[in-house]
Structure 1
Amino acid sequence: MTFCYRLLILCSIVTSTLGLVYTSPQSALAQTSVTGCPTPALERFQRHKVAPRETVESIAQRYNLTPATIIAMNPSLQNGKVVVGREIQIPPYNGIVVEVPSGQTWRQIAAKYKIRPDVLFDVNGCQKNPRVVFVPEVKRSPNRPITEAPTPTPSLSKLTGYPLAEVATVALPYGWQTNPTNGQVFFHSGMDLLAAKGTPVQAIGEGTVVFASEQGTYGNLVIINHSGGLQSRYAHLDSIKVSVGQQVKKGDTVGSVGTTGTPTINQPHLHFEVRSSSSLGWTAQDPKGYLQR
């Protein structure tokens, strides 16, 4: 894919080189893998063929975007007028396309645009070192919130539990933390619970296993989808005891504590996450509100 980008309020993309097929607005938001890593936003642009009587405003409304986003992604629309029969590019949500400058990382882009790094990471398909990234709009648009989904209030009747048999020491909590290894500040999308290697890990609630395998820095990872648009993740496991598609109940063993992947701390621990479904995919929430013995 060849992109032309300009660091303005919004960046433009060369529409003729994307080679994307048309999909409906609804399906564009559904292209998320069970691992929680969506198809990169830059690969989810759609083509829209302008129909009679359509305007930039009506097209933007159809795709739940702002007119400014539509115009910025299509240089031919700088005059604000559309041409019947012409195909224009539609991004998956409001935002800008940014080239990661030489010598910088996408984490620095996240800091510059004041977006949570885990959100930027997920939106761009969990790529380790992308050179061009899609940055979701950091301000609320008239149509919908973009950067972060509202944090849901945990429903005690729907999802509460504890992933270990005994209450464990929290080695690293959720949120902005200092990496104990290199001193860098980073956003920790879960909670690290200290436990001996081999300690059984259990599901915190009823649900369906949607991922059970090795997944990069997570190491051996189990992901369970629960009702109410919630998801729990169990990472750095030594062993996995469930399979994809399996229905589990609260307290069922899903694996054992280990050190696989790239843990932030050296001691054996469970990296536990709770995520909620949003327009940007699965957005990390503070697990503390869901943990209950």
Structure 2
Amino acid sequence: MILAKYSTLLITTLLGIGLGGGFSLARAQERTPSVCPPPVLSRLVRHRVSAGETLESIARAYNLIPATLMGLNPVLRSGKAPVGTEILVPPFNGIRVELGSNQSWREVAKQYGVRPDALYEVNGCQSAPKVVFIPGVNWSPVASPGQSPSTQFTRILAGYPLPMQPSQSAILLSYGWGVQPTTGEVGFHSGVDLAAPVGTQVLAVGDGTVAFAGNQGAYGQLIVINHREGLQTRYAQLGSIQVKVGQVVKQGQVIGTTGTSGRPSLTQPHLHFEVRSRSSLGWVAENPETYLLQNIPRPNQATR
């Protein structure tokens, strides 16, 4: 699925890469004769800030989000772009991460929910890099995208979005970078797709207030719920919506039913579920599995 416009601009301006869109390794390989493209960090463009330019205008010019530029350039983290400053610009959204002395790039891939082969390729197929570029991860001044949520946060989102027990469900498509079933290309998936027959009740995973309820492009019929401590959950590709904007909901309350609206990433019936956290840069996608989906089984790739 490709990230669509959202009426309150919570999705389009600062979230980066959405459901199934983003950087395509296949397209990148079409532009270079080598099997592995040069490392992303060797392809940074130097940009000198001119009078009248802003952080937002520079990001737009390079088809990036401001968070990407702020992560690579500390001078921009005040939100301003000083005239005359030379900044580094990557070819696509992501963050720069230095590896620890005993840390491998495979461990970094696992920490950030990125497919190891995707991380390996975008970093030039280096066997032992000291610094890597993590595609599709939004830099945040609040917390590391790979950081595990606190117990306080997991209490806020203590439910499950489907009426069956987690052990009776399955993750058909995980969060993060990987091969997208509908395109065969490597792309970023900003949530998880949970197996569920069409018409299955969808439940709020925590107490909160409905921030959006309606049709939203690739998301299809979408419900967005804001929770305490800057957490947000999203329930997409629904068949029906049973709440309205501004309504206060309780954990376990039925908010809609599963369906096939929008542009699903899979042909199998499922619920697309997301967890996001709020920062000064917008709503940043988090891995739902670190909050409430740790022990859900996954079918073999062939069943997708």
For normalisation by structure 2, the TM-score amounts to 0.55
When the two chains are superposed, the root-mean-square deviation of aligned CA atoms in Å is 4.2
Identical-residue share of aligned pairs (%): 41
Say whether residues 1:161 and 2:186 are aligned partners. no
Which residue does 2:270 correspond to in 1?
269
Which residue does 1:178 correspond to in 2?
179
User: How far apart, CA to CA, are the structure 2 residues paired with 1:278 and 1:150?
Assistant: 14
Tell me how far 1:10 sits from its aligned partner: 4.3
Tell me how far 1:221 sits from its aligned partner: 0.7
Which residue does 1:152 correspond to in 2?
149
1:205 partner letter:
G
User: How far apart, CA to CA, are the structure 1 residues paired with 2:48 and 2:156?
Assistant: 43
Question: 1:80-229 to 2 correspondence within 5 Å?
Answer: 96=89, 114-117=133-136, 119=138, 144=141, 148=145, 150-155=147-152, 156-167=154-165, 168-229=169-230
SS at match of 2:218: helix
In our comparison, the structure showing a higher alpha carbon Rg is 1
Tell me how far 1:150 sits from its aligned partner: 4.3
Which residue does 1:25 correspond to in 2?
none
Q: Which has the higher contact order (CA 8 A, sep 6+)?
A: 2
Tell me how far 1:115 sits from its aligned partner: 4.2
User: How far apart, CA to CA, are the structure 2 residues paired with 1:95 and 1:233?
Assistant: 33
Tell me how far 1:291 sits from its aligned partner: 2.3
Tell me how far 1:147 sits from its aligned partner: 8.1
The 8 Å contact of residues 170 and 193 in structure 1, kept in 2 or not, is answered as yes
Tell me how far 1:157 sits from its aligned partner: 2.5
Query: Is the alpha carbon distance of 1:189 and 1:98 closer, same or farther for their aligned partners in structure 2, counting shifts above 3 Å?
Result: closer
Query: Is the alpha carbon distance of 1:213 and 1:188 closer, same or farther for their aligned partners in structure 2, counting shifts above 3 Å?
Result: same
Tell me how far 1:191 sits from its aligned partner: 1.0
User: How far apart, CA to CA, are the structure 1 residues paired with 2:156 and 2:53?
Assistant: 46
Q: 1:101-131: CA deviations, max 9, x gaps?
A: xxxxxxxxxx579344263xxxxxxxxxxxx
Tell me how far 1:280 sits from its aligned partner: 2.5
Q: 1:60-91: CA deviations, max 9, x gaps?
A: 69x636xxx844xx23x68xxxxxxxxxxxxx
Which residue does 1:238 correspond to in 2?
239
Q: 1:187-231: CA deviations, max 9, x gaps?
A: 221111111111110100100000111112111110101111111
Which residue does 1:16 correspond to in 2?
52
Which residue does 1:127 correspond to in 2?
none
Tell me how far 1:175 sits from its aligned partner: 2.2
User: How far apart, CA to CA, are the structure 2 residues paired with 1:8 and 1:178?
Assistant: 25
The 8 Å contact of residues 198 and 239 in structure 2, kept in 1 or not, is answered as yes
The 8 Å contact of residues 230 and 277 in structure 1, kept in 2 or not, is answered as yes
More helix by share: 2
User: How far apart, CA to CA, are the structure 2 residues paired with 1:97 and 1:13?
Assistant: 15
1:172 partner letter:
L
User: How far apart, CA to CA, are the structure 2 residues paired with 1:281 and 1:252?
Assistant: 27
1:170 partner letter:
I
The 8 Å contact of residues 204 and 254 in structure 2, kept in 1 or not, is answered as yes
Runs of 4 or more above 4 Å deviation? 7-10, 97-100, 144-151
How many residues are aligned here? 205
Tell me how far 1:182 sits from its aligned partner: 2.6
For normalisation by structure 1, the TM-score amounts to 0.57
The 8 Å contact of residues 151 and 285 in structure 1, kept in 2 or not, is answered as no
The 8 Å contact of residues 210 and 249 in structure 2, kept in 1 or not, is answered as yes
Tell me how far 1:268 sits from its aligned partner: 1.6
2:161 partner letter:
P
The 8 Å contact of residues 232 and 275 in structure 2, kept in 1 or not, is answered as yes
User: How far apart, CA to CA, are the structure 1 residues paired with 2:90 and 2:176?
Assistant: 26
